Amino acid sequence: MATALTLQSLPLFPLGTVLFPGGVLPLRIFEVRYLDMIGRCHRAGAPFGVVSLTQGQEVRQPGSGPEAFATVGTLATIEALEQPRPGLMTIRALGSQRFRIRSSDQLRHGLWVADVQQLDADLAVPVPADLQPASDALGRLIRSLQDKAAGAGPVPIAPPWRLDDCGWVANRWCELLPLPVALRQRLMELDNPLLRLELVGDVLARTGIA
């Protein structure tokens, strides 16, 4: 069995959302601790880690209390970066591989870093017939988003569109549906992509989407 890859001192970006593998994450960055971190990651072509906040706020404020976050997150790679003015960056990042935090530490200027162990990627599992409506509905939504974008910019779902893969379809619906953050986190942590899609399919059936 291959040994899981460990990354040391991975910079973390705690957010009030969940990044899934294959997901798109647009960010507007103005805190000094993240401006420096994102600039370094971009220059080095290195990833950073996105973790879901369980306590505290995305932007530090006086009296906001300490930050705490989930122990499973997702690596993010910067696809595009713009700096419209000093002290402001906008980026588009893509989720890649999940990881589990082994230890973490907050540096003096507020940035969190962690030693993490990468988790196995989802197995490629074909979408079964009883869950095909979830895939079909996602395909229709992607086509609608493409029509609305009409060259104005990228759609919020990054290709390649793997509509025949359980994990990919489940992940995209988890991003699109108005689910509580804690539920999104639990779904992201599931190792079984078929089970993840089955649970998402139940939500889609209840809402009448699929």
pLDDT in tens, 70-101: 999 999 999 999 999 999 999 999 999 999 99
Q: Which CATH architecture has domain 129-207?
A: Orthogonal Bundle (1.10)
Q: Give the up-direction half-sphere exposure of residue 27: CA atoms within 13 A in the CB hemisphere.
A: 30
The fold of 6-118 is 2.30.130
Give the separation between CA 184 and CA 177, rounded to whole angstroms.
9
| Prediction pTM value | 0.91
What residue spans define the domains of the chain?
A: 6-118, 129-207
* pLDDT tens figures, 1-16: 344 567 889 999 999 9
Q: Kindly give the residue spans of alpha helices, DSSP state H, lying in the chain.
A: 32-44, 132-149, 166-176, 181-189, 193-207
